[in-house]
Chains A and B, each alone.
Chain A
Amino acid sequence: MNERTARLRKKSLEAVPRISCERARLITEFYSANEGLYPVPVMRAKSFHYLCEHKTIYIGEDELIVGQRGPAPKMVPTYPELTCHSLEDLRILNTRPKTRYLVDDECLRTYEASVIPYWSKRNMRSRIFSDMEPKWLDSYNAGIFTEFMEQRAPGHTVLDDKIYHKGMLGFKRDIDDTIERLDFLNDPNALAKRDQLKAMSISCDAVILFAQRHADMAEQLAAQTTDPNRRAELEKIAEVCTHVPANAPRNFHEALQYYWFCHLAVITELNGWDSFNPGHLDQHLLPFYDRGLAEGTLTKESARELVECFFIQFNNHPAPPKVGVTAAESGTFTDFANINIGGLLPDGSDAVNEISHILLDIVEDMHLLQPSTNIQLSRKNPDSFLKHALRVVRCGHGFPSIFNADAVVAEQLRQGKSLEDARAGGCSGCVEVGAFGKEAYILTGYFNLVKVLELTLHNGVDPMTGKQLGLQTGPAELFGSYEQLFEAIRRQLAYFLDIKIAGNRIIERHYAERMPAPFLSVIIDDCIAKGLDYNAGGARYNNTFIQFVGLGSITDCLSAIKDLVFDSRQVRMEDLVAAMDRDFVSDEPLRQRLLNRTHKYGNDDDNADELMIDVFNSCFEMVDGRPDTRGGQYRIEMLPTTCHIYFGQVTGAMPDGRKAHQPVSEGISPVQGADRRGPTAVVKSAAKMDHIKSGGTLLNIKFAPALVADDRGIDNWASLVRGYFKMDGHHVQFNVVTAETLRKAQANPQEHRDLIVRVAGYSDYFCDLSVELQNEIIARTEHAGF
């Protein structure tokens, strides 16, 4: 960091997230005045244009990359057309101890006077809940699954390199060409397509206008300032914002600023999941970098300064506020912009370049919460790249996470994508795989595997409420064999997956028909060519995901039952279930036996791992390939964000010895503390599922800092990662921190405000995590030196 970026960083870290009601006010104004005047897509585009025209423009001191979603850094807008917060919601946001957003009186007044009266029955969340069947609602309320789209729009996509070659005026020409070619004689959808395309064109205008307003403001500020250096910078900003995004960028600065306007546009238009993401930033920036150096208009230092300014803008944008179950499943300020570093070029060669290393240096130096970063590691990438990344991971912030670029390509080829598109793809959010710039890969909700087992052991009744939620698969004690039990679990699983997917199909149509995303559709292929919205199947590839949680926990439960109830017959099923129902009060010896004397996943022990494979394959068979309503297919993922805490809270004691309401395992990681054979055993176990059949799996490993303190430690660590990836492992991430440090931070949060740890697919300030989540991270096995 230089002095400028150090100042910007400090300011960003010190800013407190606040709710801004400006967007809510503007969108309400526009809708109240224009309701019913336009087709839905045009209405959306015009409302977006209205926002770009009227929202407050902010250019801060020292900034080189400009633009805020709210009126100032960390001022977070709301999206009442998606979720209309009640006054009570806003008060909770203002006072809750974790992930708190300040809400001022003006905001409360605006909500009470105009926002709530207009949106309370018109918002997507209300429409969705009122359209769901009782069994969907029961399952949702019991914590069998969550629903991503009940508070945020579909998102989950990443940009490719197209904006670096084409300006918004160019996209508008493409849109006009498609409109001209519409066949009103034969195509029954021609009118819908025209409306959609018109909407896209309006949204291009909106973004150009938005940028021009920044150019105008920069010029005004330049005229006012007495500092000649700052004046020159502001004049430069004005020039950049006049040129992009209307036109393709001509240099490094314009490339970054262009992306940033696209980013703001996507996250202003709608509040999509996983904010948005430039994808392979190092690959995209390289031509501008090389040209700038060759022409003498850029130095390594000035390039680095611009990227640092760019990174700070991500940090200035906390996730929009979440409430209820959504807050529980993703309780973080992080908004999951996850920049990809390294990987492969579309021709299949090594993509690591000088910018890759600059990005890693910046990650280490700036130590920011956002953006998230990952490396895409192919067998073709040099070890020097991996080891540089590991030295950054060693600093202990959990960044970057590490993906197997070759597996990421294989997973996409299995889904039927072209080789070039697959290689240009990568990972976003936590661990999700997509073809960048060409795919809608929508996550729909977490799915509680452990709860399904709990219901199966109670004949479909939820012991938390006594309600008959699942199928009546028979009393547990009547299962004559492990196979019979497993078959009953499969029936319950299939039953709840059907409920989930039927609900999804309704929600997908709601978004397609009522909440199109015309700007996002401009920049994702092939929405323009098809004249079809991103939310309606316009993307070249469409995949829809269900994310399973608790794979390690259900495996250990099954292993315990198989071993103690069916194989060695040491415990009777009814006694086991009764002990669970008592939360093992007065059954401590039994609980200890379950915890310590059964085969556990994560130890390279086939006795447990083969049961894990059966569960994984069941999820795959029941989900993969089923059609969604966007012309795509359902796929599985194994990731939790923070949902393993919530799913644990709604689930009683289980046969792996876990007490009621405690967290379940996260991602594909072993149950916290159950892995006792070292990190190679963990990754061997994890590699036994076929990762290529998933759209992403998440493995967390905690290392003691001493284990990787020297070069030799780094070398062995690199080999551990390479070994996992040779076995097709999808992703691994590391916390390099001692439990002792974490306990100290828990006791004295004030002294450890800057401690960032890996949670599950993202990093977060340890002190911002719920106590349950802090304890869960402390409980993970810490692999030490031997």
Chain B
Amino acid sequence: MIFRPEQVEQKGVIFNIQRYSVHDGPGIRTTVFMKGCPLRCSWCHNPEGLESRPEVVIYDGCIHCGRCELICPKCGMPLSAETNELKGIICCHCGACVPPCPTGSRRVIGREMTESDILQEIDKDRIFYEDSGGGVTFSGGEPLSQAEFVKAVLSRCRQEGIHTAVDTSGYGRQEDLLSLAEVTDLFLFDLKLMDDEKHKQYTGVSNRPILDNLSALAKVYRNIWLRVPIIPGITDDAENLDMISERVSELPSVQQVCLLPYHKTAAAKFKRMGLPYPLENIQQPNPETMESLRMQFVAKGLPVTIGG
């Protein structure tokens, strides 16, 4: 990997870099999670990626030693040691309380990183990308919301021969999307709800720009995996899935449809961020249900997988 410290590098806000990531494209991948997302999906599984600014989050393991309470120059006592809950209104998210925390349960989620910082992390698992056909995936949050930075890193990965993927909601400026397409080997493009009203209700935004972007991308770009979250009672009705499969059959650029079963693991993340979990009463779809949904796509002659 060539690093170019002399060049003035861009910076991005990242909330996680996950190695041995095996569900975001082919092979063994490193997934870079960009912070900040314009959508507010009820089933969001990365709530720490919603806000674009760094946030103080409290994980399990607090021993109530009180060191954090003594520190914050701005908000004084951001933590109630008894309930172990962040008082969101008071906390200024400055992060001053994090270094003194001995357990590491207080963390700042989201940090500014340069292109080289990220490339260095990506480079670490190169030996595994080569054998597995893996590479790097930019996810989030929403990579399009930091498109210029993502493009800069992806171009450099490309130069190094590392396979590049972008996992996007499709919600963003079309020129950004098409610009990223120049340096991306694979798009993981989410399609959630075809009904615009429902889309607004469950994601907070209209699906029009997403569908427009998908069409525009599909015209110039060959390698799209369409990802459909299967959220019981929200996205899994026949009408929605029929409309999605119809749309897919019009788009030869879609190489594969990935049905992503809803899972509840995000509930704990919402809790630790002091946020209410929007989907309390929804059950995870069982494997039989997933398989029957998969068969609906198969029946229409579409390549489809569960997960991925």
Contacts and interface: CB of A to CB of B under 8 A. Distances in A.
Contacts of B22: 707, 712-713, 716, 785-786
Nearest to B20: A678
Contacts of B52: none
B141 interface: no
Interface stretch (A208-216, A539-547, A590-598): A590-598
Interface string B291-308: 000000000000000001
A678 B21 CA distance: 9
A589 B65 contact: yes
B90 interface: no
Contact of B20 (A590, A712, A718, A786): A786
A783 B65 CA distance: 30
Nearest to A596: B104
A785 B18 CA distance: 11
Contacts of A604: 124
Contacts of A231: none
A588 B18 CA distance: 30
Contacts of A592: 61, 63, 65, 102-104
Interface in B77-106: 102-104
B87 to A, nearest CB: 22
A726 interface: yes
A604 B126 CA distance: 13
Question: What is the interface residue range for chain A against chain B?
Answer: 20 to 34
A679 B127 contact: no
A786 B21 contact: yes
B63 A680 contact: no
Interface string A702-729: 0000010000110110111011001100
A404 B61 CA distance: 39
Contacts of A597: 102, 104
Nearest to A677: B19
A720 B131 CA distance: 8
A111 to B, nearest CB: 54
A684 B127 CA distance: 10
Contact of B124 (A684, A707, A726, A783): A684
Contacts, number: 78
B27 interface: yes
Contacts of A786: 18, 20-23, 31
Contacts of A323: none
Given A593-B102, A679-B20, A719 B132 contact: yes
Nearest to A726: B127
B49 interface: no
B134 interface: yes
Interface in B1-58: 18-23, 27-28, 31
A720 B67 contact: no
Contact of B128 (A596, A677, A719, A785): A719
A678 B18 contact: yes
A720 B102 contact: no
A563 to B, nearest CB: 13
B63 A716 contact: no
Contacts of B102: 589-590, 592-593, 596-597
Contacts of A716: 20, 22, 27-28, 132, 134
A169 interface: no
A678 B124 CA distance: 12
Given A592-B63, A684-B124, A678 B104 contact: no
A723 B19 contact: no
A720 B104 contact: no
A712 B131 CA distance: 13
A597 B18 CA distance: 20
Nearest to B62: A592
B195 interface: no
Given A604-B124, A786-B22, A786-B23, A720 B103 contact: no
B18 A720 contact: no
B259 to A, nearest CB: 14
A419 interface: no
B125 interface: yes
B131 A719 contact: yes
B63 A588 contact: yes
B28 A680 contact: yes
A727 B20 contact: no
A785 B19 CA distance: 11
A395 interface: no
A529 interface: no
A102 interface: no
B109 to A, nearest CB: 15
Interface in A23-79: none
A677 B132 CA distance: 19
Contacts of B19: 677-678, 680-681
A712 B31 CA distance: 17
Nearest to B308: A712
Q: Considering residues A589, A716, A783, which has the most beta carbons from chain B within 10 angstroms of its beta carbon?
A: A716
Contacts of B131: 718-719, 722-723, 726
Contacts of B21: 786
Contacts of A783: 20
Contacts of A727: 127
A413 B18 CA distance: 38
B123 to A, nearest CB: 11
A596 B103 contact: yes
Interface string B122-164: 0011011001101000000000000000000000000000000
A589 B21 CA distance: 33
Contacts of B127: 723, 726-727
Given A596-B102, A597-B104, A678-B18, A720 B23 contact: no
Contacts of A723: 28, 127-128, 131
A715 B27 CA distance: 8
A723 B103 CA distance: 33
Nearest to A676: B104
Nearest to B104: A596
A597 B98 CA distance: 11
A723 B19 CA distance: 14
B28 A719 contact: yes
A589 B134 CA distance: 41
Contact of A589 (B20, B31, B67, B128): B67
B20 A720 contact: yes
A680 B128 contact: yes
A18 B102 CA distance: 52
A75 B218 CA distance: 72
Contacts of A707: 22
A721 to B, nearest CB: 9
A100 B61 CA distance: 40
A720 B124 contact: no
Contacts of B67: 589
A677 B102 CA distance: 20
Nearest to B126: A723
Contacts of B132: 715-716, 719-720
Contacts of A677: 19
Contacts of A678: 18-20
Interface in A757-786: 783, 785-786
A56 B65 CA distance: 68
Interface string A638-671: 0000000000000000000000000000000000
B274 to A, nearest CB: 22
Contacts of A720: 20, 28, 128, 132
Contacts of A726: 127, 131
Report the 10 A-B pairs with minimum CB-CB distance, sorted nearest first. A719-B132, A596-B104, A678-B20, A592-B102, A593-B102, A719-B131, A723-B128, A592-B103, A589-B102, A589-B65
25 contacts: A588-B63, A589-B63, A589-B65, A590-B102, A592-B61, A592-B103, A677-B19, A680-B19, A680-B20, A680-B28, A680-B124, A681-B124, A712-B308, A713-B22, A715-B27, A716-B27, A718-B131, A719-B27, A719-B131, A719-B134, A722-B131, A723-B28, A723-B131, A727-B127, A786-B22
Interface of A: 588-590, 592-593, 595-597, 604, 677-681, 684, 707, 712-713, 715-716, 718-720, 722-723, 726-727, 783, 785-786
